Chain A
Amino acid sequence: MNNAMNQWVVSHVGEKSEVLSMERKQRPISDVNRGHESPRDIGCEGDPGIQPALQGARFMGRVREPSRSLWRNVPSSRGFPATLLPVGRGCGLPLPSFASLLVLCGWILGALDLSAAGKKVVVLGIDGMDPKLLQKFVDAGRMPNFKALMAEGDFRPLQTTMPPQSPVAWSTFMTGMDPGGHGIFDFIHVDQAKMAPYNSMAGADPAGPPVNLGSWSFPTSVGGVQLLRKGITFWEILGGSGLRSTIFRMPVNFPPVKAPGRALAGMGTPDLIGSQGTFSFYTDHRKDWPPQVSGGEIYEVTIKSNRVQAQLQGPPNSFRRFPTKQSLDLLEKGRAVAVEYESPRMTQDFVVYLDPKAGAAKLVVGDQELILREKEWSDWVHAEFEAIPHLIKVSSAARFYLKQISPKFELYVSPLQIDPEDPVMPVSHPASWSKQLCAELGRFYTHNIPEDAQAFKSGVLTAQEFWDQMIFAYEERSRALDYLLTHQDEDFLFVYFGTVDQGSHMLWHFMDREHPGFVHDDVLKDGIAKLYEMLDGRLGHVREVIGKETPLVVMSDHGFAPFYWEVNLNTWLLEKGYITLKDPSKQESGEFFSNVDWSRTRAYAAGLNGLYINVKGREKGGAVSNGPEYETLLDEIEKALLEMKDTRNNQSPVSLVVRPRRDFKGPEKDKGPDILVGYSRGYRCSWESPLGSFPKAVFVDNTSPWSGDHCIDYRLVPGILVTNRRITSQTPTLADLTVSLLQEYSIAPSREMLGKDVLEPKK
Chain B
Amino acid sequence: MTSIISGLNTVLTFLFGLVYWPLKWLGPFWSMVALSWLGGMFMVWIFGKVSDQAAIRRTRDRLSSELIALRLYKDDLRIFFGIQCQVLAWTLRYLRHSLGPMLILMVPTMILLIQLNLHYGFRPLRVGEQTLVKVKLRDPGALGRGAQISLQAPESLKIETQGVRVEEMREVSWRVRGVSPGRFDLTVSDGKESVTKNVAVGGRLEGVSSMRTGEHWLTSLLYPGESPIPSQSAIESIEIRYPELDISILGKSMNWLILFLVLSLLFGYAFKGVLGVQI
A residues at B contact (CB < 8 Å): 305-307, 353, 355, 357-362, 369-371, 373, 379, 432, 435-436, 439
For B165, what are the chain A residues with a Cβ–Cβ distance below 8 Å?
355, 357-358
Which residue from B134, B162, B168, B241 sits with its C-beta under 8 Å from A305?
B168
Q: A370-B132, A371-B174 are in contact. Are A360 and B164 (CB under 8 A)?
A: yes
* Complex-state Cα separation, A417 to B165, whole angstroms: 31
Q: A360-B161, A371-B161 are in contact. List 11 more A-B contacts (CB 8 A).
A: A355-B163, A357-B165, A358-B162, A359-B162, A362-B164, A362-B166, A369-B173, A369-B241, A370-B130, A371-B174, A439-B251
Residue contact A353 to B164, C-beta cutoff 8 Å:
yes
Q: Which of A353, A357, A373, A436 contacts B166 (CB 8 A)?
A: A353
Instruction: Output the nearest chain A residue to B163 by Cβ-Cβ distance.
Output: A358
Contact B175 A371 (CB under 8 A): yes
Once bound together, how far apart are the Cα atoms of A672 and B167, in whole Å? 61
CB distance from A355 to the nearest CB of B (A): 4
Size range of the chain B interface in the assembly: 10 to 19
Q: Judging by beta carbons under 8 Å apart, are B162 and A360 in contact?
A: yes
Q: Give the number of residue pairs across the A-B interface with Cβ within 8 Å.
A: 51
Chain B residues closer than 8 Å to A432, beta-carbon distance = 251
Q: A353-B164, A355-B164 are in contact. Are A362 and B251 (CB under 8 A)?
A: no
Complex contact B168–A307 (CB within 8 A): yes
CB interface residues, B 152-181, toward A, < 8 Å? 160-169, 173-175
Q: Does A362 contact B168, Cβ atoms closer than 8 Å?
A: no
Which residues of B sit under 8 angstroms from A370, Cβ to Cβ?
A: 130, 132, 175
- In Å, the complex CA distance between A435 and B248 comes to 13
* Chain B residues at the A interface, C-beta cutoff of 8 Å: 130, 132, 134, 160-169, 173-175, 241, 251
Q: Closest Cβ of chain B: how far from A440's Cβ, in Å?
A: 12
Give CA–CA (A687, B130) in the complex, Å: 42
Chain A residue contacts of B251, Cβ below 8 A: 432, 435-436, 439
CA distance A371 to B167 in the complex (A): 16
Please name all residues of chain B whose beta carbon is closer than 8 Å to the beta carbon of A362 when the two chains form the complex: 132, 164, 166, 173
User: How far, in Å, is B19 (CB) from chain A's closest CB?
Assistant: 30
**Chain B residues with CB under 8 A of A373:** 160-161
Of A307, A353, A355, A371, the most chain B CB neighbours within 10 A belong to A371
The docked-state distance in angstroms from the alpha carbon of A305 to that of B130 is: 27
Closest to B169 in A: A353
- Complex: how many Å from CA A369 to CA B130? 11
Q: Give Cα A585 to B244, complex, Å.
A: 63
A305 touches B167 (CB 8 A): yes
Residues of B within 8 A of A307 (CB): 168
Please measure, in the bound complex, the distance between the C-alpha atom of A122 and the C-alpha atom of B160, giving whole angstroms: 40
B162: chain A residues within 8 A (beta carbon): 355, 357-360
In the complex, chain B residues whose CB is within 8 Å of the CB of A305: 167-168
Whole-angstrom distance from the CB of A751 to the nearest CB of chain B?
Answer: 42
What is the bound-complex CA distance between A477 and B175, given in angstroms? Answer: 27
Shortest distance between the CB of A366 and any CB in chain B (Å): 13
- CB of B129, distance to nearest CB on chain A (Å): 10
Q: How far is it, in angstroms, between the C-alpha of A351 and the C-alpha of B251 when the chains are bound?
A: 33
Q: Would you give 26 A-B contacts (Cβ < 8 Å), ordered by A?
A: A305-B168, A306-B166, A306-B167, A307-B168, A353-B166, A353-B169, A355-B162, A355-B164, A355-B166, A357-B162, A357-B165, A358-B161, A358-B162, A360-B162, A361-B164, A362-B132, A362-B173, A369-B134, A369-B241, A370-B132, A371-B164, A371-B173, A371-B174, A379-B130, A432-B251, A439-B251
